[in-house]
Amino acid sequence: AEQGWPELRRIPHPPRRVPLLGDVLGVNRRTPVQDSMRFGRQLGPIFRRKAFGNEFVFVWGAELAADMADESRFAKHVGLGVANLRPVAGDGLFTAYNHEPNWQLAHDVLAPGFSREAMEAYHPMMLAVAGHLTDHWDRELAAGRSVDVPGDMTKLTLETIARTGFGHDFGSFERDRPHPFVSAMVGTLTYAQRLNTVPVPLAPFLLRGATRRNEADIAYLNSTVDALVRARRAAGGDGDLLDRMLDTAHPDTGERLSAENVRRQVITFLVAGHETTSGALSFALHYLSRHPEIAARARAEVDAVWGDAKVPGYDQVAKLRYVRRVLDEALRLWPTAPAFAREAREDTVLGGDHPMRRGAWALVLTMLLHRDPEVWGADAEGFDPDRFDPKAVRSRAPHTFKPFGTGARACIGRQFALHEATLVLGLLLRRYELRADPDYRLKVTERLTLMPEGLRLRLERRAVTP
């Protein structure tokens, strides 16, 4: 029985294996997810890849993925890329093991920070940050320059989570280069991904320089966060996420987060709270620029719902149903957190066919699940927001669209991300026409998350803006 899968040999793997190294032929260590997608297409709904003596099982077929969503038999597994982030994020919400008491404590203390009331309070701050983006884009347009979509979306989403969650201003839009916090974060994410591509015992040697840089990055993240917490303790706050972390006791037990755990949570939220949303917005803008008819339909909806309101109210964002579908469809094709891991709570049989011992785990390859032709049809690779109209959604099997993960450990920031991104897409559609560079071919970089690389758009001010 290998690694908890007694019948592992029945799970297909790539045909050509190299002794010691495993399935490394024809793979690029910078794009592990897109490589796995290629393998998955050849090998079927469940497959395995070997790297340095370890077998990793991948699941993407709709039936198997739905089975893994069964919370009574499976739970989140903290492994691979997520486990590699433990030195940065410790027992913060995202990287906590299921059995760590700080998970439930922090979950219960922080969940009200994502209630509808909390979102309504964030809405004006989200609008203010989006205003910085459109000011910046207006200047670029006036100067005859195209805009750097992923770069600017990252500025936007970082400022949004920093202000709404922590009352902090990184000043991203006043900088030409990314804030050092962003560079340090990208560094640690990239490093966490690279750790998966070398044999663990050799990592200290092969990645010596990178390991030193990673330690410096972590030190920088810690010191940024410590300064932010110090300032807050001195000044007091107004009921945002940081206040919850610092001051709120658990409703039942009266327990509070420790200072060390607060540090982990702040880093977790600053990173988890912006990187994936930035990618989602970037992919959505890419597709809107490539599909003028879809952009026109979305724009017409914005005009109809917002009327001549100068700025949209909270409810006017929730009513942008078609814009939301554009976002869902972008997250279908490029779920910016492209996989999540699940482990068996007890001995079980996956899909009635693959025995697993307690603790055995597999990666659910969301990106390929979202392109399974049996679920999405023969045109699964095409961009079509109508896949998310209510009738189409009702007719689809459950657990086939999972950009925010599943179960108790699914994304706590889902509503936050959707509100922010829908709001921003609405504002941008209302203000600009988006012109694609005809020579641009979508290229996706991976650093645990997905991001379109080198995506620039030309803007035109709309002739008549309501």
Tell me the catalytic residues. 276, 404, 411
Give the tokens for residue 233.
Answer: 């303790």
Q: Residue 395 Cβ, how far from ligand HEM at the closest point, in Å?
A: 24
Q: Residue 339 Cβ, how far from ligand HEM at the closest point, in Å?
A: 8
Q: Give the whole-angstrom CA distance, residue 352 versus residue 375.
A: 20
Residue 94 or 137 having the CB closest to ligand HEM? 94
The answer to whether residue 269 forms part of the interface with ligand HEM (CB under 6 A) is: yes
The answer to whether residue 280 forms part of the interface with ligand HEM (CB under 6 A) is: yes
The answer to whether residue 76 forms part of the interface with ligand HEM (CB under 6 A) is: yes
Residues 114-173 contacting ligand HEM, CB under 6 A: 161
Q: Binding mask 327-366 vs ligand HEM (x if CB under 6 A, - otherwise)?
A: ---------xx--x--------------------------
The answer to whether residue 423 forms part of the interface with ligand HEM (CB under 6 A) is: no
Per rule CB under 6 A, count of chain residues that contact ligand HEM: 26
Q: Give the whole-angstrom CA distance, residue 153 versus residue 336.
A: 13
By CB under 6 A, name the one of 80, 323, 356, 417 that touches ligand HEM: 417
By CB under 6 A, name the one of 411, 428, 450, 451 that touches ligand HEM: 411
CA geometry: angle 214, 216, 219, nearest 5 deg: 110
H/E/C letters for each residue in 83-152?
A: HHCHHHHCCCCCCCCCCCHHHHHHHHHHHHHHCHHHHHHHHHHHHHHHHHHHHHHHHHHHCCCCEEHHHH
Residue 23 or 278 having the CB closest to ligand HEM? 278
CA distances in angstroms from 395 to 325, 373, 398, listed in the order given: 16, 15, 9
Backbone angles phi, psi at 18, to 5 degrees: -105, 130
Q: Residue 131 Cβ, how far from ligand HEM at the closest point, in Å?
A: 19
The answer to whether residue 218 forms part of the interface with ligand HEM (CB under 6 A) is: no
The answer to whether residue 289 forms part of the interface with ligand HEM (CB under 6 A) is: no
> Which of these ranges, 127-135, 144-152, 182-190, 269-277, lies near ligand HEM under the rule CB under 6 A?
269-277
The answer to whether residue 37 forms part of the interface with ligand HEM (CB under 6 A) is: no
Give the tokens for residue 162.
Answer: 């920093």
Residues 388-407 contacting ligand HEM, CB under 6 A: 403-405
Q: What is the DSSP letter of 45?
A: S
Which residue's structure tokens are 């400022």? 159
Q: What is the DSSP letter of 336?
A: S
Residue 91 or 217 having the CB closest to ligand HEM? 91
By CB under 6 A, name the one of 39, 56, 94, 322 that touches ligand HEM: 94
Beta strands in 130-206 (DSSP E): 147-148
The answer to whether residue 93 forms part of the interface with ligand HEM (CB under 6 A) is: yes
Which residue's structure tokens are 């991300």? 417
Contacts 24+ apart (CB under 8 A), 142-149: 146/437, 146/456, 146/457, 146/458, 146/459, 147/456, 147/457, 147/458, 147/459, 148/455, 148/456, 149/282, 149/285, 149/286, 149/452, 149/455, 149/456, 149/457
Contacts with ligand HEM by CB under 6 A lie at 76, 82, 93-94, 107, 161, 268-269, 272-273, 276-277, 280, 336-337, 340, 403-405, 409-413, 416-417
